[in-house]
Amino acid sequence: MRDEFAKIEWLKTRFALDGESKEVLIGIGDDAAVIDFGSRPTIVTVDTQVEGVHFRTDLLSCRELGYRAMVAAVSDVWAMAAMPTASVIALTLPADSSDEDFRQLIDGLADAARTTGARVIGGNLSRGQSLSVTTTVFGLPIHESLTRRGAQPGDSIYVTGTLGSAALGLAILQAGRLDLEGADRFVDRWKRPPLNGQAATVLARIATAAVDVSDGCLQDLEHLADASGVGALVHAEAIPTAPGYQAMCRALSVDPNVLALSGGEDYELLFTAPASSQAAALGTQIGEIVEGSGARAVDASGGILEIDVTGFRHFS
């Protein structure tokens, strides 16, 4: 099981509940779990940022890391059409971590916690070989929990914001090309994920299914399609990108379609819904749900684009 998602599928079987559970409404396999504690369902999600895997300390300050880690975790709650209420943080610090780095990390977490509403109420502190931040976020559904499983053939596919900018920002940093005009805008987009709390309130009313775009648009859309038992078709020319995106991709010799569709770390909300003015006001229509399986992208002439849909995967 060298693949991350093969491991997850096995975990679903290994941790399957014996018999029916009235408390666990949604278990492994969605953006978050949903547990009914007796009064109102609670959303629970956890996300880990590990040095050398998710970030490099020469590219991201400790304060930026703290902010980014919190918003990345909260994004899963928003994708469930829920609002964050609290969080607990587990920090692993290397022995040579300075007090100033620690304070900056906490300041970043605190800034994002205040901004998103995921107030920090506890956690754990440990020493380890590398820096890591594990964020568990709790939330409450706005109406009913939104999952990946409700998409139907005929639904349109929408995405909030733009795609590819975060991956482009990381590519700029990795290439050491901060000298390029407009580079700072894309770097900041990677460092500070978007805040989609307001979008979540609209999703609760109109969406049939949703997922947050963390591992790449096509890969995350395929997860949604698989969960719903449908296929998904994306029109590459409809993908929303930021001003200057195409020119910056050319300057770095990067394929703009590949980056937008598989780059990941956008933390935008990808959702399905019947076509409507409300959906169009919230996001850009990029495709449609169809009969079949899997997610694929086509160009303006209808030709299939040969883009690896796997996006980012651990253990690959």
**Residue range 119-142, pLDDT digits in tens:** 999 999 999 999 999 999 999 999
Domain 4-141, second-level architecture: 2-Layer Sandwich (3.30)
**CATH 3.90.650.10 domain range(s) in the chain:** 156-298
How confident is the model at residue 213, as a pLDDT?
Answer: 97
Question: Is the model more confident about 22 or about 151?
Answer: 151
Amino acid (1-letter code) at residue 88: V
Q: Is residue 35's pLDDT more than 70? A: yes
Tell me the average pLDDT across 180-197.
Answer: 97
- pLDDT tier at 255, thresholds 50, 70, 90: very high
Report the mean per-residue pLDDT for the chain: 92
What dihedral do alpha carbons 92, 95, 97, 98 form, nearest 10°? 130
Tell me the average pLDDT across 210-218.
Answer: 96
Alpha-carbon torsion (111, 195, 149, 264), positive or negative: negative
**Residue range 68-122, pLDDT digits in tens:** 999 999 999 999 999 999 999 999 999 999 999 999 999 999 999 999 999 999 9
- Starting at the edge strand that comes first in sequence, how are the strands of the sheet with 284-290 ordered? 209-212, 269-273, 156-159, 284-290, 231-235, 294-298
The CATH class of the 156-298 domain is: alpha beta
**Residue range 3-28, pLDDT digits in tens:** 666 776 676 667 665 556 678 788 77
- Starting at the edge strand that comes first in sequence, how are the strands of the sheet with 24-26 ordered? 24-26, 33-36, 41-50, 132-141, 82-93, 119-127
Helix H or strand E segment including 125: strand 119-127
Q: How far apart are CA 249 and CA 287, in angstroms?
A: 23
Q: How far apart are CA 88 and CA 47, in angstroms?
A: 11
How confident is the model at residue 316, as a pLDDT?
Answer: 47
How confident is the model at residue 233, as a pLDDT?
Answer: 97
How confident is the model at residue 19, as a pLDDT?
Answer: 52
Q: How far apart are CA 185 and CA 187, in angstroms?
A: 6
310 token code pair? 């796997």
- pLDDT tier at 274, thresholds 50, 70, 90: very high
How confident is the model at residue 153, as a pLDDT?
Answer: 98
**Residue range 220-241, pLDDT digits in tens:** 999 999 999 999 999 999 999 9
Q: Is residue 168's pLDDT more than 70? A: yes
Amino acid (1-letter code) at residue 280: A
Count Cβ atoms within 10 A of the Cβ of residue 104 and give its class: 0-12 exposed, 13-18 middle, 19 or more buried: middle
Helix (H, G, I), strand (E, B) or coil at 105: helix
pTM of the entire structure? 0.90
Q: Which of 17-31, 62-76, 183-197 has the lowest mean pLDDT?
A: 17-31
Question: Is the model more confident about 57 or about 135?
Answer: 135
Tell me the average pLDDT across 207-221.
Answer: 96
88 token code pair? 């607990």
Q: Which of 30-34, 212-216, 238-242 has the lowest mean pLDDT?
A: 30-34
**CATH 3.30.1330.10 domain range(s) in the chain:** 4-141
Q: Is residue 39's pLDDT more than 90? A: no
How confident is the model at residue 306, as a pLDDT?
Answer: 85
